[in-house]
Structure 1
Amino acid sequence: MKEYKIRGTNYKIRYNDFSGELTPILFIHGLGCAGSFDYVEVASKLGFTHRIILVDLLGAGYSDKPLSFKYTVTSHAGYLKEFIDDLDLDKIIIFGHSLGGPIAIELSNLLKDRIYKLILSESNLDPSSHGAASFEIGHLDESDLENSFKIKLMEYERSGNTMWVATLKNWLPKAAFEVSINAVSGGTPSWREFLYQFEFPKYFIFGERSLPDKDFEILKKHNIKIEVVPDAGHSMAWENPDGLAQAIKNCL
C-alpha cells in the first residue's frame, strides 16, 4: 500500500497501485466501503493488464480521518483530481460504485478530455430517498453523532449485512454523515445531468438481484451501455467478484 499527501494539508490517503501496461483504472468505493477491502479480488481477476489503482477515500479504510475536513462529493473529487495530476496520468478509466459514482462523475467533469471511459456500478444519480443507507445515515442525530452512528451500525449488523458493517466501522462518523447529507441533497447540476452530457464512453453495471430498475432502459436511451452481474445485488464486488470482473472486462 502507498500513501499520498493531499496538497496544502497533512492529510494522507492510502491506495494500492498494481502495475499494468494498459490505461490505468481508478476504483472509487461507495459509502461505508474501502477500495482496499472491496476491489483487490476483482483487480486480481481482471488480470492486471491495466494499471489498477484502488483508493481508500479520506475518512475511510486506511486513509486519514481528519475532523476538520468537509466530506462532500465535490471535496473528494477535488483531491482525487490532484492525486491523478501528481501521478502524471494523461488518460484514465474511472470506476465508481454507489455513492462513489457521484465522486467519479464529478471527477470526470474535472478531468474532461483525460477520461478514456467512465464505468459506474449502481451509482447514485439523483438525491437519495427513504430506504437508502445514505438517507438513513444523513438523518442521524448530528448533536450525538458518535452514539447514533454506533446504534445504526448495530442495526445493520443485526440485519446480517456484516461485510458492509466491517468496513463501515472503519469510517469516521463525520465522513459518513456529511457525504450522506450530500447524497440526500444531490448534486448541482445533478449527477445524472453531468453523466448524460459526457461525450466519452459511459457504462453502467447492475447486479442481477437489483433488477428490475427503471434506469435500465432510461440509461440506454442516453447512450450508456449496460452490463449485468449475475447472482449479485448492490454489493457485487463481494457477492460475485468474478462476475463483476467480467462485466468490467466487457466495458474495457
Structure 2
Amino acid sequence: MREYTIRGTNHKIRYNDFPGALTPIIFIHGLGCAGSFDYVEVISHMQSKHRIILIDLLGAGYSDKPSSFDYTIDSHVKYLKEFVDDLNLEEIIVFGHSLGGAIAIELCHLLKNRIKALILSESNLDPSSHNSASFEIANLSENNFDKIFKRKLTEYETLGNTMWVATLKNWLPKAALGISKNAVHGGKISWRQLLYQFEFPKYFIFGEKSLPDADLKKLKEHDVTIEIVSHAGHSMAWENPAGLAQAIKKCL
C-alpha cells in the first residue's frame, strides 16, 4: 500500500497500485466501503495488463480521517484530480461504484480530455431516494451523531449486512454523514446529465438481482453500454467478484 499527501494539508489517502503496461484504471468505492476491502479479489480475477489503482477515500478504509475535512463530493473530486495530476497519469479509465460513481462522474467532468472510458457499477445518477442508505444516514440527527451512527451500525449488522458493516465501521462518522447529505441534494450539475453528455465510452454494470431497473433502457438510449453480473445484486464485488471482473474486462 502507498500513500499520497493531499496538497496544502497533512492528510493522506492510501491506495494500492498494481503495475501494468496498459492505461491505468482508478477504482473509486462507494459509501461505507474501501478500495482495499472491495476490489483486491476482483482484480485478481481480471488478470489484466492494465495498471490498477485502488483508492481508499479520505475518511474511509486505511486513509486518514481528519475531522476538519467537509467530505462533500466536490472536495473528494478536488484531491482526486490532484492525485491524478501528481501521479502524471496522462490517460485513465475510471471505475466508480454506487456513490463512488457520482465522484467518478464529476472527476471525469474535470478530466474529460484525459478519460479513455468511464465504468460505473450501479452508480448514483440522481439525488438519493428514501430507500437508500445514504438517505437514511443523511437524515440521522446530528446531535450526538457518533453515538447514533454506532447504533445504526448495530442495526445494519443485525439485518445481516455484515460485510458492509465490517468496512463501514472504519469510516469516520462525519465522512459518512457529509457524503450522504451531498447524495440527497445531488450534484450541482446532474450526474445523469453529465454522464449522458460525455463523448468517451461509457459503461454501466448492473447486478442481476437488482433488475428490473428502468435505468437499463434509459441508459441504452443515451449510448451507455450495459453489462450484467449474474448471481449478484448491488454488492457485486463481494457477491460475485469473478463475475464483476469479467464484466469490467468487457468494458476495456
TM-score range, shorter chain: over 0.9
**1:87-98 pair list within 5 angstroms:** 87-98=87-98
Q: Helix, strand or coil: the match of 1:231?
A: coil
Count of aligned pairs between the two proteins: 252
TM-score normalized by the length of structure 1: 0.99
* 2:232 alignment partner AA: A
Q: Helix, strand or coil: the match of 2:89?
A: coil
Indicate the residue corresponding to 1:101 in structure 2: 101
Indicate the residue corresponding to 1:218 in structure 2: 218
Provide, for residues 195-249 of structure 1, a one-character-per-residue CA deviation record: whole Å limited to 9, x for no partner.
1111000000000000000000000000000000000000000000000000000
- Structure 1: 4+ residue segments shifted above 6 A: none
Q: Helix, strand or coil: the match of 1:193?
A: helix
Indicate the residue corresponding to 1:49 in structure 2: 49
**1:82-161 pair list within 5 angstroms:** 82-161=82-161
Q: Which runs of 5+ in 2 are unaligned?
A: none
Indicate the residue corresponding to 2:19 in structure 1: 19
Shift of 1:48: 3.4
TM-score normalized by the length of structure 2: 0.99
Distance 1:243 1:194 in 2: 28
Q: Which runs of 5+ in 1 are unaligned?
A: none
Indicate the residue corresponding to 1:33 in structure 2: 33
* 1:106 alignment partner AA: E
Calculate the aligned-residue CA RMSD, in Å.
0.5
Shift of 1:43: 1.0
Shift of 1:44: 1.0
Shift of 1:144: 1.2
* 1:201 alignment partner AA: P
8 Å contact from structure 1 (residues 19, 48) kept in 2: no
8 Å contact from structure 1 (residues 18, 48) kept in 2: no
Provide, for residues 3-54 of structure 1, a one-character-per-residue CA deviation record: whole Å limited to 9, x for no partner.
0000000000000000001100000000000000000011111113100000
Distance 1:149 1:197 in 2: 37
Distance 2:57 2:219 in 1: 27
Distance 1:131 1:84 in 2: 34
Distance 2:101 2:197 in 1: 15
Distance 2:236 2:194 in 1: 25
